[in-house]
Amino acid sequence: MAAVRLARAGASVTLFDPSHPREKPCGGGLTGRALALIDDIIDVRSLPAVVVTSATVEGPDRTAHVALNDRGKTPDSSLLVVSRTLFDRAMADAAVAAGAHLRAERAIDIVRRGAHFLVRTNCGEHQVDQVLGADGANSMIRKKLAHPFRRAELSVAAGYFVHGSTTSTIALKTMHQHPGYLWSFPRPDHLAMGICAAAVHRASSTQLQAQSAAWLRVHGLDRGARLTPYSWPIPSIGHAARRTPPLAGAGWMLLGDAAGLVDPLTREGIYYALLSGQWAADALVASSGEGAASLYADRILSVLQPELARAARLSGVFFTPAFSSLLVRGLEESRGIRDVFADLVAGTQPYRGLRRRLLATRQWSLAARAIRLLLRPGFTGTMSGVALPHEMATRS
């Protein structure tokens, strides 16, 4: 995304990436807000994709079925699920078409040389003026110019690509042994299915894959299917203090997962990766040097980090059995709550304003029960400054 925008603005851009195209451990969901960001870059409608029409939400004792596209929505405002191989290839091709130079080289080191940087790859050395680190959760750029993620900022995701099975329905289930959630996203020719859990709970990828396999067996999705396992860390600055995340400095910026721009509740990352690429390009076009770094970092910290922090606070209670049971009941009983849930899935409902919208559903009994859950001893979500009990209660 950054390469497309910068190349279109006339900058000389080199992409160092030996891996594209390749599949990724990712649901592959493109929300409406993500689609809007790339509307002038690629025609997603030309890619094989699944338009998600419904969701099943499994609680401890019941399952709710929610229609996601029954209010006159267009496919562009729904959740689309694509293969990351095809989507990433389309984005890389768009960058090259805009004028960026794609080098199939792996960056292995970066060293500052005065006002410039020396990027060392497995094939040679390259001097550059600006470095944009979009190299994922295990970012080499982050490790060299800032510091690695702390355990408290990481989740572990593990599961399977289920080849030979697909649908138009996503499946979600809260998990309590290692607080987190299970998802199954349908791609055109397979399912991307897995479980993510906070790293502080010390769930191993082996344990999460075993739980994933058990869910597949219960639902009969493993019969005749070819299972390809995967595991990967997922970072989020939603768990970080307000001004501490290292995002940029003189001549460098971190983007997407490398910056920790992932929703700590849903683990959505594609939208934030695209948006950070856009904002990095905006900052470099508007300024240079430390000015660009400050513009970029301030924008992330003032707009995105508060939203990710709200999600982190919600996650403190969302994955408990009592709350997830209440969520499923709300989805079963209230059309208003189902509508809010559908917009959350599509990415059109932010956490800010969620309390007000859910209060408008007038589900007072459900709200009262949720508040009682929040007031129980042991709840660790902060309640200062944002009237959190109401926001979390009404989300149910």
DSSP string, 124-192: -EEEES-EEE---TT-HHHHHHS-PPPGGGEEEEEEEEEET---SEEEEEEETTTTEEEEEEE-SSEEE
At residue 114, φ and ψ (nearest 5 deg) are 65, -120
Four-residue CA torsion sign, 61, 396, 309, 375? negative
pLDDT at position 376, please?
Answer: 56
Residues 224 and 373: their CA atoms lie apart, in Å, by 42
CB-CB contact of 322 with 370 (8 Å): no
pLDDT value of position 380: 44
Give dist(CA 229, CA 170) in Å, integer.
19
Report how far residue 391's alpha carbon sits from residue 75's, in angstroms, rounded to the nearest whole number: 29
What CA–CA distance (Å, rounded) separates 211 from 122? Answer: 38
**What sign for the dihedral angle of Cα 82, 254, 110, 154?**
negative
pLDDT at residue 242, as a whole number: 63
- Is the separation of the CB atoms in 75 and 49 below 8 Å? no
Closest among 389, 138, 152, 176 to 264, alpha carbons compared: 152
Supply the pLDDT for residue 75: 45
Q: So where are the chain's domains?
A: 312-395
CA pair distance 179, 318, nearest whole angstrom:
9
Measured CA to CA, the distance from residue 15 to residue 103 in angstroms comes to 6
Residue 351: predicted pLDDT = 83
User: What is the pLDDT at residue 394?
Assistant: 31
What confidence score (pLDDT) does residue 359 get?
A: 77
Do residues 149 and 235 lie in contact, with contact meaning Cβ atoms separated by under 8 Å?
Answer: yes
The partner residues of 7 in beta bridges, in order of sequence, read: none
391 touches 355 (CB < 8 A): yes
Amino acid at 185: F
Q: Report yes or no on whether pTM surpasses 0.75.
A: yes
Report phi then psi at 141, rounded to 5: -60, -45
User: pLDDT at position 111, please?
Assistant: 96
pLDDT value of residue 393: 31
> What tokens appear for 6 in the block?
């910068």
pLDDT at 372 (0 to 100): 63
Among all chains, which residue has been given the structure tokens 């301030």?
A: 298
DSSP-assigned letter for residue 253: E
Long-range contacts of 137-141 (CB under 8 A, 24+ apart): 137/232, 137/233, 137/234, 137/235, 137/257, 137/258, 138/233, 139/254, 139/257, 139/258, 140/107, 140/108, 140/109, 140/110, 141/107, 141/110, 141/252, 141/254, 141/258
Instruction: Give the pLDDT score at 241.
Output: 67
Residue 352: per-residue pLDDT: 84
| Residue 17 phi, psi (nearest 5) | -160, 110
Burial environment of residue 218 by CB neighbours within 10 A (0 to 12, 13 to 18, 19 or more): exposed
Residue 312: CB atoms within 10 A of its CB come to 22
Query: Are 210 and 184 a contacting pair, CB within 8 Å?
Result: no
So what's the pLDDT on residue 375?
A: 55
Q: Report pLDDT for 316.
A: 76
> What residues in the chain have per-residue pLDDT under 70?
69-77, 241-243, 289, 367-396
